[in-house]
Amino acid sequence: MSGPIVGVYGIAAMFFILFVLRVPAAFTMALVGFVGIARVISFDAAFAIVGTEMWNIFSSYGLTVIPLFILVGEIVHYAGYNFSLYDATYKWFGHFRGGLAMTTIMASAAFSAISGSNTATAATMSAVAIPAMKEYGYHPMMNAGSVAAGATLGVLIPPSIVLVVYGLYTGQSIGKLFFGNVIPSAILTVAILGTVAWICRLHPGWGPAGPRFGWKERMKALPAAIDILALFGIIMYALFTGVVTATEAAAASCFLGYAICLARRKLTWKKFVDSMTDTLRISCMVFMIVAGAVIFARFLTLTRLPFAAAEWIQTLALPKWMVLWVILLCYIIGGCVMDALAFLLVSLPIFYPLVVQLGYDPIWFGQVITIVTTMGSIMPPIGICCYVVSGMSGIPLGTVFRGAFYYMPSYVVSIVVLMISPYWTVLVLSDLVK
Amino acid sequence: MGLERLSELLRRGMMIAGGVSLLALTLLATTNVALRVFRVPVSGTYEVVSFLGAIVTAGALGYTQKRKDHIVVDILSDRFPAPVKRVLDRVNFAITFVFFAIVSWQTFVYGKRLISTGEVSETLKIAFSPFVFLVGFGFAVLALTILLDLVESVWTPAERK
């Protein structure tokens, strides 16, 4: 037994350990990768690889951006900016039918501009938006669905952890990836807002309109939103000029975040400690997934399975766009059964070279993959955003998944738009970055 | 139980180390940006930021495990009867304990190798093995936490679950 078939056994073993033994996804990948490397080369080699590889990943300069972007989000969250953002958007848009759900989406988008993860956004918005929507008689499916769908923007809108990991893995510039993401994020946000309007047409009772606010009140709600926009602007500007690294931009925004919160007296010692603790454990989760996926991918590469798979797809002689859809389908199925980030990392060694060979732009592909990945986070059975929303709000998981299902077409539509014109949707902005 | 209290202390200590590293990292990178504006960047910040970043993650290993924060797929196993689940949990804890004990041990081996070959960091020329040992220690705390989970799952009577 040798070659690619060992890789196939490895994948089978991974699913068994994941589903039957309930070992966390991150640990499973590292474990199977370790045993696999021992099988393909030797135990000594496997020992040496786990020792050095864990250190290499933990101490990677590029990856230090992850805890920092999580920290900015946590600071803003604990300082209560989520409430102010929600309040501001509500005063402006709450009087439309489904306005509160739209408010939720837009506040999620604004919050995502400072937070890099969808679970943080889901947790934040569940706490803020669901009680408000309940109060105004919104249907639970509308509540939960809009929060879950809005939260997926967290992973898409820069700073995005998926884009960071993608950039480091493929050697693409993070600045370019973030800028190329601006239009796709806007497209998806509009598509999700459109879905809310569509749901309100289908079920008028699900999202009654709220009261209309005067201009004075609208203006009074703005300053908090301006703080967040300024912070976002600084990060993007720094990355745009290229004078700082992504890590430095993130660190500076953490520093500024703390400074703003202190100046506005929004931070207590307890909130400070909580923001730190949350950041540490969330980034530990992300790092373990990255480490597990890297070790597992090492093993897969040793078995030559990725190359065999890529060659096989090429022998099918399908048209370019069809190959791409096959790949995207793999991501959708993969996202259903595995943690999206983990699946992305495991599959990139297989698909990335293939996509580049087909002539697709790597920056553009990064956006498409991020949209597909984030869609996986509201898909049953393990859509992580739905779990968070259900856990935080007490709305049954099934209702959350059904509510979120309405938003599926918006992701597909966004991908199609991106495919129609890669230049005008992504490259027009990413090419501006030095 | 003495061992449980010890592991709690270790987890907390490592979390503090992680938190302090995160703050130090933030300040260091921010200072470097500020100094670059005045054209006097500190050399070697990249290295120190990376080393501190390693402690940020390693510091939270035990705590994250204790809170069971890592993503688990339980769509299938939720349907298993409770006694089967308990047995599978023990297998799970036993395997992951052995694995992370190996990872911890190998990280220490790597750190010792760095000392014996006299390897230093590229720019600052400092010995960075203490950081490697701290990461190894983080994995040891993780392994200990899993071991105590295993002990608890074996010793706790079924009816109390």
| Stated length of chain A | 434
Chain B residues whose beta carbon lies within 8 Å of the beta carbon of residue A391: none
Cα separation of B151 and A265, whole Å? 46
| Number of Cα atoms under 13 Å in the Cβ half of residue B88 | 19
How far away is chain A from the Cα of B159, in angstroms, using its nearest Cα?
A: 22
Residues B49, A59: Cα–Cα separation, whole Å: 8
Closest CA to B50 of A56, A278, A251: A56
> What type of residue is A55?
W
Distance in angstroms (rounded) separating the CA atoms of residues B59 and A282: 12
**How far away is chain A from the Cα of B5, in angstroms, using its nearest Cα?**
20
Query: Which of B19, B53, B71 has its CB closest to that of A25?
Result: B71
The DSSP line for B53-117 is: HHHHHHHHHHHHHHTT-S----TTGGGS-HHHHHHHHHHHHHHHHHHHHHHHHHHHHHHHHHHHH
Q: Which two tokens stand for residue A20?
A: 């039957």
For residues B120 and B156, what is the distance between their CA atoms, to the nearest angstrom?
Answer: 48
| Cα A393 → chain centroid | 21
Lookup: tokens for A402: 């059904």
- What would the pLDDT profile of B46-58 be if each residue is shown by its tens digit? 889 999 999 999 9
Instruction: State the Cα–Cα distance between residues A320 and A334, nearest whole angstrom.
Output: 21
Best mutation target among B12, B37, B56, B104 (most A Cβ atoms within 10 Å) is B56
In which residue are the tokens 């969808």 written?
Answer: A118
Taking an 8 Å cut-off on Cβ atoms, the answer to whether B71 and A384 are in contact is: yes
Candidates B33, B49, B106; nearest CB to A47: B106
The verdict on a CB contact (< 8 Å) between B57 and A384 is: no
Query: With contact defined as beta carbons under 8 Å apart, do A243 and B36 qualify?
Result: yes
Number of Cβ within 10 Å of residue A136's Cβ equals 16
Locate the chain A residue with the closest alpha carbon to B34: A252
Under an 8 A CB cutoff, do A382 and B69 touch? no
For residues A95 and A207, give the distance between their C-alpha atoms in angstroms, rounded to a whole number. Answer: 11
Tokens of A378: 């509201």
User: Which of A275, A154, A175 has the alpha carbon at shortest distance from A235?
Assistant: A175
- Residue A387 to residue A381: CA distance in whole angstroms: 10
Chains A–B, number of C-beta pairs less than 8 Å apart: 179
Smallest CA–CA separation between B2 and chain A, in Å? 25
Query: CA A236 to CA B9: how far, in whole Å?
Result: 41
- In A, which residues are within 8 Å of B98 by CB distance? none
Token pair of B75 as six digits: 């769509």
Q: Which of B33, B59, B103 lies nearest to residue A50, judging by beta carbons?
A: B103
Instruction: Show the tokens assigned to A261.
Output: 């919160």
Q: Spell out the per-residue pLDDT of chain A, length 434, in tens.
A: 568 888 889 888 888 888 888 888 889 989 999 999 999 999 999 999 998 999 999 998 888 888 998 888 888 888 888 788 888 888 888 888 888 888 889 888 887 877 767 777 787 788 778 888 888 888 999 989 999 999 888 888 888 888 988 998 888 988 899 999 999 999 999 999 999 999 998 988 888 887 788 888 888 888 877 888 788 887 778 777 777 888 888 898 899 989 988 888 888 999 999 999 989 988 898 889 889 888 988 898 888 887 787 778 778 778 888 888 888 888 887 776 666 677 788 788 778 888 888 889 999 999 999 998 888 888 877 677 888 788 778 888 889 999 999 999 999 999 999 999 888 988 888 888 76
Check: CB of residue A228 under 8 Å from CB of residue A121.
no
If one counts every other C-beta atom within 10 angstroms of the C-beta of residue A251, the result is 30
CB spacing of B91 vs A21 below 8 angstroms: yes
Cβ–Cβ < 8 Å for A109, A189: yes
Closest of B1, B7, B5, B2 to residue B97, by C-alpha: B7
The verdict on B26 touching A (C-beta cutoff 8 Å) is yes
* A135: Cα separation from own chain's centroid: 29
Decide if A276 and B22 are in contact by the 8 Å CB cutoff. yes
